[in-house]
Amino acid sequence: MPRVVDVDERRALLAAAVWRVIHREGLANASVRKVAAEAQVSMGSLRHYFSTQNQLLQFSLQAVGERVTQRLATLDLTGTPRQVAELVALELLPLDADRRAEVEIWIAFSAATLTDPDLRALSDQSHEALHTLLRTLVADLLPPNSPDQDLDLETDRLHALIDGLALHGATTPTQTTPTRLQAALTHHLEHLARS
């Protein structure tokens, strides 16, 4: 039998290297060679786990989504709807360096999504999943038995606000400080709960 290596761990390691390269030099510079060097692995070894660059990048994008999902899963969701909504929403904002890096990677992939059909499919999936999650939060915030139309509208608004804040927090971190991000979001949830 063959040499034993944890394949999933190896792939996760390489995805992390992809993230670091993207964060440092952008998605356009995430070449196979640079990722391999970043992971301190030979090109041949990398290509044993991802035979093409597309596979590598697609996996890395998917892994970002799963990383966020797992972080959200660790949250303690006991509390009032307002508390839960705030907890989840704040987790999605770039309030520290780690999450800012994460958002930067998400932006890079979002841009790539516009011209790469394969990435687009993955991205749409994450978008839809987050939208669904946010919809349940909104449903608990609004008055019981609110019409679907209101739910959809407020979910669109909350989702856009979160992504817009994340975008600003990453692109203009000097102006858009974590404090301001947090203030805008909690203020929005306050309005939602009182409407």
Partner DNA sequence: ACCTTTATAGCACGAGTGTGCTACTTTGAA
Partner DNA sequence: TTCAAAGTAGCACACTCGTGCTATAAAGGT
Q: Which of 157, 193, 194 is nearest to 85 (CA)?
A: 193
User: From the DSSP assignment, how many helices (H) and strands (E) are in the chain?
Assistant: 9, 0
Q: Rule CB under 7 A: is residue 44 a binding residue for DNA?
A: yes
> Is the Cβ of residue 41 or residue 84 nearer to DNA in the bound state?
41
CB of 68 to its own copies, least distance (A): 16
Q: What is the DSSP letter of 175?
A: T
Which residue, 46 or 92, is less far from its own copies as judged by CB?
Answer: 92
Which residues would be at the binding site for its own copies (CB under 8 A)?
24-29, 104, 107-108, 110-116, 123-124, 127-128, 131, 152-153, 156-157, 159-165, 167-168, 170-172, 175-176, 180, 183-184, 187-188, 191, 195
DSSP class of residue 6? -
Task: List the one residue from 12, 15, 24, 31 that touches DNA (CB under 7 A).
Answer: 31
Q: Check: CB of residue 134 under 8 Å from CB of residue 154.
A: no
Nearer to DNA, 4 or 114 (CB): 4
Q: Least distance (Å) from DNA to the CB of residue 112? A: 13
In angstroms, the first-to-last Cα distance of the chain is: 64
Distance of closest approach, residue 9 Cβ to DNA, in angstroms: 10
- Give how many residues touch DNA by CB under 7 A: 25
- CB neighbourhood size of 44 (10 A): 8
**46 vs 194: CA distance, rounded Å:** 53
